[in-house]
Every structure is written in structure tokens, then in C-alpha cells.
Amino acid sequence: MLLKDKNIFVTGGSRGIGRGIALACAEHGANVAISAEDTAAERETLAATVAEIEAHGVKSAWVAASAENPDTGDRLVETAVDALGRLDVFINNAGICPFHSFLDMPRETYLKTVDVNLNGAFFAVQAAANQMVAQGDGGSIIAVSSISALVGGGMQTHYTPTKAGVLSLMQSTAIALGGYGIRCNALLPGTIETDINREDLSDTRKRDYMISRTPLGRLGAPDDMGGPAVFLASDLAKYVTGAALLVDGGLYVNLQ
């Protein structure tokens, strides 16, 4: 039980990587609140995931709050404090990756991707950090960046800069918040099979190619992200801040 009695918020926790992380935290004894995009479908998914979290005997709560709204960060913190009592760990995970070619990228696709992935992360992390500073005894902030912070993607020209930005945000907030005992780290997943890439990976040639590039011989699953997130959230990582942890089955280092 690495996270007993810690109070954690996971954005985009309804499904995919966020759900995998939320369930791993609950398995380790944490109370976990989650958010997702404000849609009718996500409200149902949030409620279902909250039931799975509570099955671990911990407290949970959900809020439907879209990341592109700069006020959302405050709503997330309010939800955590109202339901759990305080906020010890904040995990910014919500994100989108609408694959699209560069030359004809619609402006709205670019702007929405930046708003959700980067601007949303900034305001949410700022709100969480202010709550932790007010509590006065430190905390842990984790941002889900990507292997795509380090390498490019021809159909991801709008997306990869947001993931580099989120990594950079954790590096700078590690400095800004270190004096308050707040650690800030980034998780960099490789290719994890979720709804975000279901259509892209339905091309079996692409899927097989991605597997062939991965030394561990398979794509990732959401629960592969759980252990690394629990580690960074826990006191095992008490001297880890400003770090970037690749969780990619070895994909990044595989040149030849």
C-alpha cells in the first residue's frame, strides 16, 4: 500500500490511461477523484469508473469539466477538497490527439489541441499547486506528456508541441514549487492502446510496425502506466522532481 490515505485527482480519469492510473492508485490505498470532458457519454463513464475505484474500499468522486475552460482547474480542486478533504497528488492526464496532416491542418483542430493539452494543463496544475501551497505540506504533481515530446509525428504536428510543452511545464514548475516541497514530474508513455488511437491502429500494417519497433514486443496497455504513476506519487520518489519517465517498452531507444 504505497499511497495509503493520500488524496489524488486524475484528469481524464474516466477511461484509457487515466482510468488505469486511477485504479492503480486506488489499489495502493489512495482516495481518487477523477474528471473527464463534459459530455453525456463521459458522465456515464465517469460514474462507472468511480464505482470501480470505490470497490477498492477508498473514497472517490467525479466531475465533468472540459480542460479547455481556464476555470476548470479550480473546479477540479474544489471537487477533490469537498469529496476527499484535501489534495496530495494531482495527475494531469486529459488529452486529445486528432491525427491530421500538416499542410491542411484546420485552425480549429490545432487550437483545440493546444487548448486542451497544454493550456488546460497549465491552469489545472496552477490551481492544484495553489491548493498544495495553502495546505502547507508539499505534494506531488504528475503530467502525462508523451514519447512525442522527444520525437516527431507527421500526422501529429499540432500534438507533439503540446506534449513537449507539458514536459517543459513540469521542469519549470519543479523549480517554481520545489521550495514548497511540491515535486513535479512527467510520464512519457509510448504507444498505449486506448480510444485515442483506436482508429489509427486499426490499420494492421501500422499496428504491426509499431509493435516491431518496440523491444518488449507489444503495445502498452493502460495498466502499464499504473506502476510508474504510483511510484512518482508515492514517498518512494521523495527526492525525484523535474524528472521525465519514459514508459514505452523501449520504443524511444530503438534506432536499429
Ligand X SMILES: NC(=O)C1=CN([C@@H]2O[C@H](COP(=O)(O)OP(=O)(O)OC[C@H]3O[C@@H](n4cnc5c(N)ncnc54)[C@H](O)[C@@H]3O)[C@@H](O)[C@H]2O)C=CC1
The answer to whether residue 225 forms part of the interface with ligand LFPNKLMZ (CB under 6 A) is no
The answer to whether residue 95 forms part of the interface with ligand X (CB under 6 A) is yes
Helix axes 160-178, 120-135, angle to 10 degrees: 20
DSSP readout, 32-89? EEEEE-SSHHHHHHHHHHHHHHHTTT--EEEEE--TTSTTHHHHHHHHHHHHHSS-SE
Stretch that binds ligand X, among 52-60, 80-88, 194-202, 208-216 (CB under 6 A): 194-202
> What residues from 186 to 205 belong to the interface with ligand LFPNKLMZ (CB under 6 A)?
191, 196-197, 200
Q: How far apart are CA 156 and CA 118, in angstroms?
A: 14
DSSP 8-state symbol, 184: E
**CB 239 to ligand X: min, Å:** 26
Q: How far apart are CA 211 and CA 191, in angstroms?
A: 9
**CB 4 to ligand X: min, Å:** 26
**CB 3 to ligand X: min, Å:** 20
Q: Indicate the helix (H) or strand (E) that contains 220.
A: none
For the chain, report the end-to-end CA distance as a whole number of angstroms: 40
> What residues from 135 to 154 belong to the interface with ligand X (CB under 6 A)?
144, 146
Considering only CA atoms, which of 57, 59, 16, 45 is closest in space to residue 226? Answer: 16
The answer to whether residue 116 forms part of the interface with ligand X (CB under 6 A) is yes
> What residues from 123 to 162 belong to the interface with ligand LFPNKLMZ (CB under 6 A)?
146-148, 153, 156
The answer to whether residue 224 forms part of the interface with ligand X (CB under 6 A) is no
The answer to whether residue 96 forms part of the interface with ligand LFPNKLMZ (CB under 6 A) is no
Contacted entry of ligand LFPNKLMZ, ligand X, none for residue 153, CB cut-off 5 to 8 Å set by kind: ligand LFPNKLMZ
Q: Which three cell numbers stand for residue 132?
A: 498544495
Task: For residue 213, report the phi and psi dihedrals to the nearest 5 degrees.
Answer: -85, -10
- Report in angstroms the alpha-carbon separations of 85 from 32, 77, 137, 171, 177: 11, 10, 14, 28, 22
Stretch that binds ligand X, among 77-85, 89-97, 98-106, 150-158 (CB under 6 A): 89-97
The answer to whether residue 37 forms part of the interface with ligand X (CB under 6 A) is yes
**Count of beta carbons in the 10 Å neighbourhood of residue 227:** 15
Q: Which of 50, 76, 96, 177 binds ligand X (CB under 6 A)?
A: 96
Catalytic residues: 146, 159, 163
| Residues in touch with ligand LFPNKLMZ (CB under 6 A) | 97, 146-148, 153, 156, 163, 191, 196-197, 200
| Residues in touch with ligand X (CB under 6 A) | 12, 14-18, 36-37, 42, 66-68, 93-97, 116, 144, 146, 189, 191-192, 194-197
